[in-house]
A and B are shown apart, each in its own frame.
Chain A
Amino acid sequence: MIALHLPALQVVLPLLAAPLCALVRRGNPAWAITLIASWAAFAAAIGLLLRVLDEGVISYEMGGWAPPIGIEYRVDLINAFVLLVVSGVGAVIVPYARKSIAARFGSTEQAWFYTMYLLALTGLLGVTITGDAFNIFVFLEISSLASYVMIAMGRDRRCLTAAYQYLIMGTVGATFIVIGVGLLWAMTGTLNLYDLAQRLPEIQNTRPVLAALAFLTVGISLKLALFPLHLWLPNAYAYAPAVTSAFLSGTATKVAIYLLLRFFFTVFGGVDFFETTPLPEILLILSIIAMFAASTVAIFQSDVKRMLAYSSVAQIGFITLGISYATETGLTGAMAHMFNHAIMKAGLFLLIGGVMFRLGSVKIEDMAGIGRKMPITMAGFVVLGLSLLGTPGTVGFISKWYLGLAAVEQGQWWLVALIVIASLVTMLYIGRVVEVAYFREPTAKVAQLQEAPAALLVPSFVLVAAAIYFGLDTSLSVGLAQDAAALLLSASY
C-alpha cells in the first residue's frame, strides 16, 4: 500500500508538514516536524530508486485520473537519481539547521523558516517527479517563492536586494518556461511529457516547436545559472543564511539541470535539434566561459561565501559542458558531477556556516589563523576544497575524469587541457583561503574562538565523508549516472 503510493508520498509528506510548521509557530516543534518530513522524503526517494531498479519505470496516476488527461507522476532511473540527491541533501541539512537558525531567530521566525524550507523541498521534489509540463511550472514556482523568502532572511540588508533580484530573474525564467510549454501545448494539445515526446517528431521542423525549445532552454538556463544568466546567484548565495545557501546550492540548480536534460533528451528526444541547430556549440562555449570567468572572479572575492557562489557558477559550467557533448560518457560525467557537486558545495557552505556561527564574519582577512582554532572545520574545508579541484580519491576527480574522457572520445584534446587548467584555477581560490587560515598569525578575535559545535560539525562531516566515500566507491554515483545517461540517449521514457 505505502509502496504503491510512494510517488505521491514523496511530494505530499513535505507539503503537508509545511503548514503544520506554520501552525505550531514555535521553533523546536517545527524543527522536529521538518526533521521527520525530510528524512521520510529521503526514505521515499530510496524506496522509489529501489523499485525503479527492480521493476523499471513507475507511472503513478495522480487522483486516479489516467494520463495523458490526468496528471502523471513518472519515475525512471534519471529522476529517481535526482530525487535521491535532492532529498538526501535536504535531509542532511535539517539537523544542522536547528542550532544555526536558533542562534539568529526568535521562535516564531524559526517556524516560518522551516515552513519555507519544506515548501522549497516540496517544489523541488515535485519538479523532479512529475510527468506533466504545467505541473513542472507550478512546482518550480512553489520552490522559487519559498527560496526567495529563505534568502531574504540573511543578516546583511543586501540579502533583500539579492532576494528581489532573484525574484525578478527567477520569475522571468519561469515565465519563459511557461511560454515554451504553452507553444508545445498549442502545437500538440498535450501537456504530458511522455505524450509530448511521442508527438513532437512529426512536427519537428515547425517554427513554434523550435521557438518552444528556445524559450525552454533560456528559461531553464536562467534557473540553473548558466553563464551569462547567473547574475542572481552570487549575491543570493552570499547574503542568505548558511542553511539556505547550502540547501539551494545542493538542490535548486541541480533540479534545473535535470529539467534541461529531461527536455533536451526526453521531450525533444525524437527531434534532431542537436544536429540541425547550433545549440551544442553555444552550450559548449558558454560552459567554457563559465568555467574560466566565474573561477577567475572567485579568486578576487573577499567574502568566502561569495567566492563559493562564483565557484558554483564555474562548476555548473563543467556540468553543462558534459551535456553539450550529448554522448554517453559526457552525460555520465554531467550527471555524476551533479551528484558530486551537490555533496561538495552543500558541505562547504555548511562548514563556512560554522565559521560564521563562531566568528560572525566570513571575510577572508578576518579568518587569519582560523585553522589553529577551528581545526576540524577547516580540515573538512580542505578536504572538500581538494575534491572541488579534482584530487584523486575524492568525488571531484571522478566526474572530471569522465568529462575529460568524453572530450578525448570526441578527439578534442584541447578541451582536456582546458578542464585541467580550469581545475587549477579552482586551486587558486581554495588555496587562498587555506593560506590565510593556516599560515597567518591568528588575530585577537580569532584567538578566542572555539571549535564549531558538534550539532554543526556532524552534518557537515556526513557530507565530507560522502565526498571521500563516493570518490573511492563509485558504484552508486557513477553506476547510476551511467545507466541514466544511456537511458537519456535512448530517448525512451
Chain B
Amino acid sequence: MTDILASVNYWVTIFLMVGGLYIIVAHGNMVKKLVGLGIFQTSVYLLFLSPGKILGGTAPILAKEFELYSNPLPHVLILTAIVVGVATIALGMAFVVRIHEAYGTVEDDEVHELDTDT
C-alpha cells in the first residue's frame, strides 16, 4: 500500500495517459478527440516533472541559505513541450473549424458518409 502511495505521481500519469489515448480512439467527435489528445500530452508533462521535484527543495537559485533544490531541466523541457502542445491543439482546432465549414459536421462517421456519397 505504501508502495502505491509513494509512486502516486506515476499512477496519475498512467491514468491520464491511458484515459487520453482511450478518448482519442473511442470518440468520433473531432473536438473530443482533441480533448483526449490534450490529456494524453499533459500526462507526459507529469512524467517529466514529477521525478525532478525534491520535497522541501526550492527553485534552483544561487544563494547561501538554499542548498536543496529541484532539478530545473524538466521545467525547461516541459515549457517547450507545452508550447508544442498548444500549437498542435490550436492547429487541430483550426482544422476542425475548416472541416465544419466544408461538411457542416465534426462527427467522424458523418464526414465519412458525406465523402462516400459524392
Bound form: Cα–Cα A168–B47 in Å = 21
Q: Does A186 contact B (CB under 8 A)?
A: yes
Listed residue (A134, A160, A179, A185) with the most chain B CB atoms within 10 angstroms of its CB: A160
Of chain B, the residue at the smallest CB distance from A157 is B102
Cross-chain contact of A148 among B48, B77, B84, B91 (Cβ < 8 A): B91
Which residues 35-83 in B have Cβ within 8 Å of A in the complex?
37, 40-41, 44, 47-48, 51, 77, 80-81
Q: Does A59 contact B (CB under 8 A)?
A: no
A164 partner residues in chain B, CB cutoff 8 A: 30, 92, 95-96, 99
**B92 touching A168, Cβ below 8 Å:** yes
* Chain B residues proximal to chain A, CB less than 8 Å: 17, 21, 24, 30, 33-34, 37, 40-41, 44, 47-48, 51, 77, 80-81, 84, 87-88, 91-92, 95-96, 98-99, 102-103, 111, 115
Cross-chain contact of A172 among B21, B99, B102 (Cβ < 8 A): B21
Bound form: Cα–Cα A138–B47 in Å = 17
B96 partner residues in chain A, CB cutoff 8 A: 164
Of chain B, the residue at the smallest CB distance from A163 is B95
**B99 touching A186, Cβ below 8 Å:** no
Bound form: Cα–Cα A141–B37 in Å = 14
B115 partner residues in chain A, CB cutoff 8 A: 158, 161
Distance in angstroms from B114 CB to nearest chain A CB is: 9
Known interface pairs A152-B98, A157-B103; A179-B111 also in contact (CB < 8 Å): no
Cross-chain contact of A175 among B44, B87, B92, B111 (Cβ < 8 A): B44
Q: Does A182 contact B (CB under 8 A)?
A: yes
**A160 touching B80, Cβ below 8 Å:** no
Cross-chain contact of A168 among B24, B81, B102, B111 (Cβ < 8 A): B24
Bound form: Cα–Cα A182–B98 in Å = 35
A163 partner residues in chain B, CB cutoff 8 A: 95
Which residues 13-39 in A have Cβ within 8 Å of B in the complex?
none
Residues 109-136 of chain A: 1 if any B CB is under 8 Å from the residue's CB, otherwise 0? 0000000000000000000000000100
* Chain A residues proximal to chain B, CB less than 8 Å: 134, 137-138, 141, 145, 148-149, 152, 157-158, 160-161, 163-164, 167-168, 171-172, 175, 178-179, 182-183, 185-186
B17 partner residues in chain A, CB cutoff 8 A: 179
A152 partner residues in chain B, CB cutoff 8 A: 95, 98
A-B contact pairs, 16 of them (CB 8 A): A134-B77, A134-B80, A137-B81, A141-B84, A141-B88, A145-B87, A148-B95, A152-B95, A157-B102, A160-B95, A161-B99, A161-B111, A164-B95, A167-B95, A178-B44, A179-B47
Distance in angstroms from A116 CB to nearest chain B CB is: 11
Distance in angstroms from B106 CB to nearest chain A CB is: 10
**B91 touching A160, Cβ below 8 Å:** no
**B99 touching A160, Cβ below 8 Å:** yes
**B111 touching A182, Cβ below 8 Å:** no
A167 partner residues in chain B, CB cutoff 8 A: 88, 91-92, 95
Distance in angstroms from A176 CB to nearest chain B CB is: 9
Known interface pairs A172-B40, A178-B81; A160-B48 also in contact (CB < 8 Å): no
Secondary structure call for the B interface: helix
Distance in angstroms from B37 CB to nearest chain A CB is: 6
**B91 touching A145, Cβ below 8 Å:** yes
Listed residue (B21, B77, B115) with the most chain A CB atoms within 10 angstroms of its CB: B77
Bound form: Cα–Cα A212–B96 in Å = 33
Distance in angstroms from A216 CB to nearest chain B CB is: 14
Bound form: Cα–Cα A186–B99 in Å = 40
Bound form: Cα–Cα A183–B30 in Å = 30
**B84 touching A186, Cβ below 8 Å:** no
Of chain A, the residue at the smallest CB distance from B95 is A164
**B41 touching A171, Cβ below 8 Å:** yes
Listed residue (B33, B44, B87, B91) with the most chain A CB atoms within 10 angstroms of its CB: B91
**A186 touching B51, Cβ below 8 Å:** yes
Distance in angstroms from B30 CB to nearest chain A CB is: 6
**B47 touching A160, Cβ below 8 Å:** no
A178 partner residues in chain B, CB cutoff 8 A: 44, 81
Known interface pairs A145-B88, A157-B102, A160-B102; A168-B33 also in contact (CB < 8 Å): yes
Cross-chain contact of A149 among B44, B91, B99, B103 (Cβ < 8 A): B91
B47 partner residues in chain A, CB cutoff 8 A: 179, 182-183, 186
Listed residue (A158, A163, A182) with the most chain B CB atoms within 10 angstroms of its CB: A182
Bound form: Cα–Cα A294–B45 in Å = 36
Bound form: Cα–Cα A287–B21 in Å = 26
**B95 touching A171, Cβ below 8 Å:** no
**B98 touching A160, Cβ below 8 Å:** yes
Q: Which 6 A-B pairs have the closest CB atoms?
A: A157-B102, A164-B95, A141-B84, A160-B99, A182-B47, A182-B48
Known interface pairs A134-B77, A161-B111, A178-B81; A172-B37 also in contact (CB < 8 Å): yes
Distance in angstroms from A200 CB to nearest chain B CB is: 18
Of chain B, the residue at the smallest CB distance from A170 is B88
A134 partner residues in chain B, CB cutoff 8 A: 77, 80
Bound form: Cα–Cα A179–B17 in Å = 10
Of chain B, the residue at the smallest CB distance from A138 is B80
Bound form: Cα–Cα A21–B34 in Å = 30
Of chain A, the residue at the smallest CB distance from B106 is A164
Distance in angstroms from A136 CB to nearest chain B CB is: 12
Bound form: Cα–Cα A3–B96 in Å = 46
A183 partner residues in chain B, CB cutoff 8 A: 47
A149 partner residues in chain B, CB cutoff 8 A: 91
